[in-house]
Structure 1
Amino acid sequence: MTSNRSAVLFALALLAPALVYILVIVAYPLFDTIVLSFTNAALKPTYDWVGWANYQRIFTAGNFTEVILRTFVWTFFSVSFKMVIGMAGAVMLNAAIPGQTVFRILTMPPWIVPMAIGIFMWGWMYNGQFGMISGLLQNFGITNGPVAWLAYGDTAFWATIITDVWIGVPMVTIYFLAAMQSIPKDLYEAAWTDGAGRFYRWRRITLPMMVPAIITMSLLSLIATFNSFDIIWILTQGGPSGSTTTMIIDTFKTAIGSRKYGEGAARAVVICIFVSIFCIVYFRAVRKLSQGEAK
């Protein structure tokens, strides 16, 4: 019993730093945000308990439903493009082609370059008067004049998606490439011996073996994109006319811009609920996948 007690105490000692980190950095701020969401906290030094008033105000406001829908649409297209382009890039980088190392190195700059600098670069490219994109379209005769991509709701919305995809694709590509290279080569050799074509091998071997990696990367990319702030804020600050305002931008504007800390905290809690739902769906999918492989 003394030996078992020592083992337990030793295990708790090893877990103590992680436990302290979770309590101080994660649990306490989350608990404080939840408590704050039930108050009318603002710039004034004192605040009162208002119950569910902040949440009622959020969901009775006409624009918040639009913000939620816009966030899901923005996240869906951005994550979808990242997955498709990342998979295509991983397939090409995994192929035995000359200069393979060079292509792998060229994949990294969007991920290596500091995010703010990359976003500012895209902002200049979207500029109607001086931007490269507008200039090329005019030179090729596609447009009759300059196009200010960030000045109109539809074009600004897709411009932020393109920028987010540019930043996120390298990580997806490298992750998928690592997953492909971990697949046993014997499977491909056996399929090739049986006369299976390249597309058949990819569909029957590569894709099924990469399902866990695809699910994991989809969740990580979904959470990062859902909470993406820098890209939209630097390019449009949620404009024009709120056409690129997502939930995280709306939360920032409410809590920091309007100094409504209680209502902003309520919006943050709603975001946390959505992200938690994503995680629950992910863990259930992984569990079903593991059970299927065990059978």
Structure 2
Amino acid sequence: MRSERTTLIAWAFLAPALLYVLAIVAWPLVQTVILSFTDASLRKTTDWVGSANYEKIFNATFATVIVRTFIWTFFSVALKMIIGTCGAVLLNAAVPGRHLFRILIMPPWIVPMAIGIFMWGWMYNGQFGMISGLLQRFGIVDGPVAWLAYGNTAFWATIVTDVWIGVPLVTIYFLAAIQAIPKDLYEAAWTDGAGRWYRFRRITLPMMVPAIITMSMLSLIATFNSFDIIWILTQGGPNGATTTMIIDTYHTAIGSRKYGEGAARAVVICIFLSLFSLAYFRVTRRLQPEAAK
């Protein structure tokens, strides 16, 4: 009797959270899946088209968008992890004014994203942008460079902007992970004559692995779904060079008013991210078998 009462109380406490998940996550997801099998648009009537929307998106054009999205995500997340690790190690060093440096790392994350992206858009401008002006001043280029007007440069420009916005959070997270490492390990290694590089490879990096995996997963999901940066800078151009899956979904569903096809693209994105999440959980269970039990 006592056990049943405890179970009922537990379910009573869980009920609000379960209702919230059903209302905010599960129901819209089910509606999106249903919508993806229709030809919904601005027309009053909606017909069931089966898998036609999925057959349309799996063509050469969308395959290019998928590959571009993975490349964009890979380089953006990789750079954030590398720069964030280096920044955390430097901010953890016993140097004068390190507290000031920790504060100065935060503005890219504190500044409203739209304002920061507009700032980068001005800097990328070929006529009066700071980057083009500095390159001309130092004789690296002969004339103005419109970074967002060409496919290759626009693609890498959006990556740089995304890295600039995401690095502070990664750095602070990794800094917390480093500070949680027991100091005794470093003292023992230092006593044995281990150098800084050896201590980093054998102590710091292995102890940071759980934090790196967690942050890389969170960053991967956020970057894969990143919309603001690309839309404000290029809107997916020029000529689709920066069109990722989320931008393509927006163009289809909102721009072209093809809600059924847009929903199908959203479902494909959800499937990709679900696979990433499953892979993440499998990796973490292998790294922490005792915790998983």
Cα deviation 1:42-86 (Å, max 9, x = unaligned): 0012201100000001113x2100000000000000000000000
Could you say which residue in structure 2 is the equivalent of 1:50?
Answer: 49
Superposed displacement of residue 292, structure 1: 7.6
Q: How does 1:108-123 map to 2 (within 5 A)?
A: 108-123=106-121
Range 7-16 or range 261-270, more displaced: 7-16
Does residue 120 of structure 2 align to residue 134 of structure 1? no
What CA distance in whole angstroms lies between the structure 1 residues aligned with 2:4 and 2:52?
50
Residue type matched to 1:242 in 2? G
Residue type matched to 1:189 in 2? E
SS in 2 for 1:239: coil
Could you say which residue in structure 1 is the equivalent of 2:101?
Answer: 103
What CA distance in whole angstroms lies between the structure 1 residues aligned with 2:130 and 2:241?
23
Could you say which residue in structure 2 is the equivalent of 1:28?
Answer: 27
Cα deviation 1:171-200 (Å, max 9, x = unaligned): 000000000000011111111111111111
Does residue 14 of structure 2 align to residue 15 of structure 1? yes
Structure 1 unaligned segments of length 5 or more: list them: none
| Superposition TM-score, scaled by structure 2 size | 0.98
SS in 1 for 2:100: helix
What CA distance in whole angstroms lies between the structure 2 residues aligned with 1:269 and 1:43?
20
Could you say which residue in structure 2 is the equivalent of 1:83?
Answer: 81
What CA distance in whole angstroms lies between the structure 2 residues aligned with 1:38 and 1:69?
24
Residue type matched to 1:47 in 2? T
What CA distance in whole angstroms lies between the structure 1 residues aligned with 2:5 and 2:170?
44
Residue type matched to 1:58 in 2? I
Aligned residue among 167, 170, 173 for 1:169: 167
Q: How does 1:201-280 map to 2 (within 5 A)?
A: 201-280=199-278
Tell me the percent identity. 76
Could you say which residue in structure 2 is the equivalent of 1:158?
Answer: 156
Residue type matched to 1:209 in 2? M
Superposed displacement of residue 5, structure 1: 2.2
What CA distance in whole angstroms lies between the structure 1 residues aligned with 2:132 and 2:194?
47
| Superposition TM-score, scaled by structure 1 size | 0.98
What CA distance in whole angstroms lies between the structure 1 residues aligned with 2:232 and 2:47?
35
RMSD: 1.2
Flag as ranges the 4+ runs of structure 1 deviating above 6 A.
none
Superposed displacement of residue 141, structure 1: 1.1
What CA distance in whole angstroms lies between the structure 2 residues aligned with 1:291 and 1:45?
54
Residue type matched to 1:267 in 2? R
Could you say which residue in structure 1 is the equivalent of 2:4?
Answer: 5
Superposed displacement of residue 144, structure 1: 1.1
Does residue 40 of structure 2 align to residue 41 of structure 1? yes
Structure 2 unaligned segments of length 5 or more: list them: none
Cα deviation 1:110-150 (Å, max 9, x = unaligned): 00000000000000000011100011111111111111000
Superposed displacement of residue 99, structure 1: 0.5
Paired residues, number: 293
Residue type matched to 2:49 in 1? V
What CA distance in whole angstroms lies between the structure 2 residues aligned with 1:38 and 1:92?
52
Superposed displacement of residue 13, structure 1: 1.2
